[in-house]
Structure 1
Amino acid sequence: LPLPTYAFQRDHYWMDTPKSSGDLRSVGLEVSDHAWLGAALGLADGEGHLFTGRLSLAEQPWLAEHAAFGTVLVPGTGLLELALTAAHHVGAERVEELTLLAPLVLPEEGALRLQVVVSAPDAQGHRPVAVFSRPEEASEEVAWRQHAAGELSEAGAAGPDDHAEFAELAQWPVAGAEQVSLEGFYDDFAARGLVYGPAFQGLTELWRKGNTA
Structure 2
Amino acid sequence: QHYWLQGQVAGGDPASLGLGPATHPLLAAVVALPVSGGVVLAGRLSTATQPWISDHDVLGTVLLPGTGFLELAIRAGDEVGCAVVEELTLRAPLALTPGTGVQVQVAVGPEDGAGRRPVHVLSREEADGPWTLHAEGSLVPGALTPAADLTE
Q: TM-score range by the shorter chain?
A: 0.7 to 0.9
Shift of 1:170: 4.6
The C-alpha deviation readout for 1:5-40, integer Å capped at 9, x for no partner, is xxxxxxxxxxxxxxx963221221000111110000
Question: Deviating runs (4+, > 3 A) in structure 1?
Answer: 169-172
Question: Partner of 1:155 in structure 2?
Answer: 142
What TM-score do you get using the length of structure 2 for normalisation?
0.84
Aligned residues between the structures: 141
Unaligned runs of 5+ in 2: 1-9
Question: Partner of 2:6 in structure 1?
Answer: none
Larger relative contact order (CA 8 Å, sep ≥ 6): 2
RMSD, aligned α-carbons: 2.1
Rounded to whole Å, the distance in 1 between the matches of 2:123 and 2:149 is 40
What TM-score do you get using the length of structure 1 for normalisation?
0.61
Question: Partner of 1:61 in structure 2?
Answer: 51
Q: Does residue 107 of the first structure (1) align with residue 94 of the second (2)?
A: no
Q: Name the structure where strand makes up a greater proportion of residues.
A: 2
Point out the more displaced range, 107-116 or 79-88: 107-116
Q: Name the structure where helix makes up a greater proportion of residues.
A: 1
Shift of 1:46: 3.3
Which structure is larger by alpha-carbon Rg, 1 or 2? 1
Between the two proteins, what is the percent identity of the paired residues?
43
Point out the more displaced range, 59-68 or 126-135: 59-68
Question: Partner of 1:128 in structure 2?
Answer: 118
Rounded to whole Å, the distance in 2 between the matches of 1:130 and 1:38 is 17
Aligned partner (choices 126, 132, 148) of residue 145 of structure 1: 132
